[in-house]
Structure 1
């Protein structure tokens, strides 16, 4: 397990050991169900989500009053690690949305929204990216105009715009939507978040077919969509900080179980080299070696980020480092797997080729690698931009 590779003091190890044993026992009694021939991937994963929730494995670090178990982020990380190591799909990627609501939503909103989100009664998607802004989230054009009708106490917004790469929107009930609410204010301080029901009049969802055959990504069109002021999450202008909170969870490979899956495939590649001793090209040996280094660096960095979160650290531009490290590790690993496993093209979680195709998007989704480097240069290293030196 990865928690044994680079031990850090995260509290009571016996507590985590007990949790891992309980989950392993539960998985033995509740094996991953077979996907039905006509079942879409999103529907299958939703069925698994409900099974995990019934066992108490979703929302471990969410307070009990909002449907969780009131434990720590490390407990949820341990669950994700065990699921990855057991070759099962991870906990649904709603943790970052749940924590955004925990930090910015009102108590009434948390009580109403979070238990249903965690249980899978309401499926959520994330409406951040736009076709005209690319990875520049602050450059979004979607606009939410506040009602000027004094008789109704400015009680709603009218939203117009378009979102892109909205994962599984066609299967979702709610969208955590970001929109600009002040066209005259600075870009980072004029973004506001909303909990948008996707059955609202004026909302159109259009799936997009990817190279690997999946239709995970969607376009989302918003035409004069009415959103009530009570559906706003946080205050006007809180959207940027909310987005950075989601990033802190979305980009940590420990939260998603990716590290365990990477570790399993890497172990298989190393076994393959040993079994083919003497008949392995030097270039392939070097590629696997680089994968090992990438993996160990990613593990160390992800664990450091988890430790910072447990200590109360806030999300910040450091998450751009997480994103770059995870992108490099994932893309190199699947490129190498295609070379090392000719004719087999299957790994512990499915077709290597399909995973390879999906990995190509890692340098785009969640912010392109170029944008992440710009963030590191400007906000962490404080390097001058071209405009500063001209």
Structure 2
């Protein structure tokens, strides 16, 4: 189902790129995770390996360390990785494009090559204890003093900050301006005085998430990304890449499971109840809608359309597709399979439950769509 996921004006060399990448993957297979190796350390080794082959930052201009190709070329690589169950292209693409759009030329030349190469590891300081899904409600303050700011506040759910050296940080710089126009972005070194990183250990034992405490942290004006007040559009640019299922490789990953469910439905039609067959059909519909929408969003980007609140639609579609897929898979496939080769499938099901929370809750996404896309009035 995923051999030709894009069919709108593909560059003539896109198939050639796919074949080249498949050949490279055959010669450079995914490295094995070492015993007790933290996940981000393993993923960083994979990042370095992909970069050494020229597969990171395909749609970033050459002068900033990329290959100067189109967004479709980068999407094709993400799709190939998803199709072979490999970890995706390092999730720095959305940060790189935020820097490309809002950073100064000096910042692009200094930060982007090191980001793409994996020389600098970045995290994302957006969410807060009281503003996880609604970024406009953040309370972290950056107060300006001439050529620098002092930042005070707290960030939460900052993934793998303990393994990062830099943070793309959002803070409010104008308390009198409207919420969406008062946020600015900074490239904050995490070894700066006043920064405390505290990992949060989950019940599973994983410490993916961290708290960041910012106690009068001094940040230079030159470390601000874009103008004051550019934080909100920068954040929207970031999440538009984070939420497009083609950028992340989720399309091909979901497609493999959808095809497996369809094949099982044909083979076991006499065994599966009609209700379960209907659920499999609904998974197929969800998947096709997501594919069509992801293509549309990619086409809009290629035409130069600026990212906006429509990315909330992407987030809802991905959440619905992913959760229904894994819920249905658990009903279709025997328990002994889930304990054996498909143990990973059960883990994916468990992780899918968080999809309606991370990156903005589904409730917040619906509010954004209602107010900012459809223009509906707020309720009393």
Query: TM (normalized to structure 1)?
Result: 0.94
The offset of 1:346, in angstroms, is 6.6
Judged with a 3 Å threshold, the aligned counterparts in structure 2 of structure 1 residues 43 and 209 are, in CA distance, closer, same or farther, namely: same
Report whether the alignment pairs 1:380 with 2:380.
no
Q: Residue in 1 aligned with 2:181?
A: 189
When structure 1 is superposed on structure 2, of 282-291 and 293-302 the one drifting more is 282-291
When structure 1 is superposed on structure 2, of 337-346 and 376-385 the one drifting more is 337-346
Preserved contact between residue 127 and residue 175 of structure 1 (Cα < 8 Å): yes
* Cα distance between partner residues in 2 of 1:224 and 1:358: 36
Query: TM (normalized to structure 2)?
Result: 0.96
Preserved contact between residue 2 and residue 260 of structure 1 (Cα < 8 Å): yes
The offset of 1:155, in angstroms, is 1.6
Q: Say which of 231, 249, 260 aligns to 1:239.
A: 231
Q: Residue in 2 aligned with 1:115?
A: 113
Q: Residue in 2 aligned with 1:229?
A: 221
**3-state DSSP class of the match of 2:297?**
helix
* Cα distance between partner residues in 2 of 1:318 and 1:288: 28
How far does the alpha carbon of each residue in 1:21-57 deviate from its partner, in whole angstroms, 9 at most, with x for none? 0000000000111111121111111100000000000
Preserved contact between residue 117 and residue 123 of structure 1 (Cα < 8 Å): yes
The offset of 1:344, in angstroms, is 1.6
Alignment of 1:1-390 (within 5 A): 1-2=1-2, 4=4, 8-12=7-11, 14-147=12-145, 154-341=146-333, 342-345=335-338, 351-387=344-380
Preserved contact between residue 167 and residue 190 of structure 2 (Cα < 8 Å): yes
Judged with a 3 Å threshold, the aligned counterparts in structure 2 of structure 1 residues 274 and 322 are, in CA distance, closer, same or farther, namely: same
* Cα distance between partner residues in 2 of 1:137 and 1:92: 24
Q: What is the CA RMSD across the aligned residues, in angstroms? A: 1.6
Preserved contact between residue 61 and residue 69 of structure 1 (Cα < 8 Å): yes
* Cα distance between partner residues in 2 of 1:314 and 1:347: 45
Preserved contact between residue 337 and residue 343 of structure 2 (Cα < 8 Å): no
Q: How many residues align?
A: 379
How far does the alpha carbon of each residue in 1:179-212 deviate from its partner, in whole angstroms, 9 at most, with x for none? 0011111111110000001111111112223354
The offset of 1:220, in angstroms, is 1.1
Return 5+ residue gaps in structure 1 as ranges. Answer: 148-153
Q: Residue in 2 aligned with 1:151?
A: none
Return 5+ residue gaps in structure 2 as ranges. Answer: none
* Cα distance between partner residues in 1 of 2:340 and 2:285: 20
Preserved contact between residue 346 and residue 352 of structure 1 (Cα < 8 Å): no
**3-state DSSP class of the match of 2:337?**
coil
The offset of 1:4, in angstroms, is 2.4
Judged with a 3 Å threshold, the aligned counterparts in structure 2 of structure 1 residues 350 and 180 are, in CA distance, closer, same or farther, namely: farther
When structure 1 is superposed on structure 2, of 259-268 and 343-352 the one drifting more is 343-352
The offset of 1:72, in angstroms, is 0.6
* Cα distance between partner residues in 2 of 1:240 and 1:266: 36
The offset of 1:62, in angstroms, is 0.3
**3-state DSSP class of the match of 2:188?**
strand
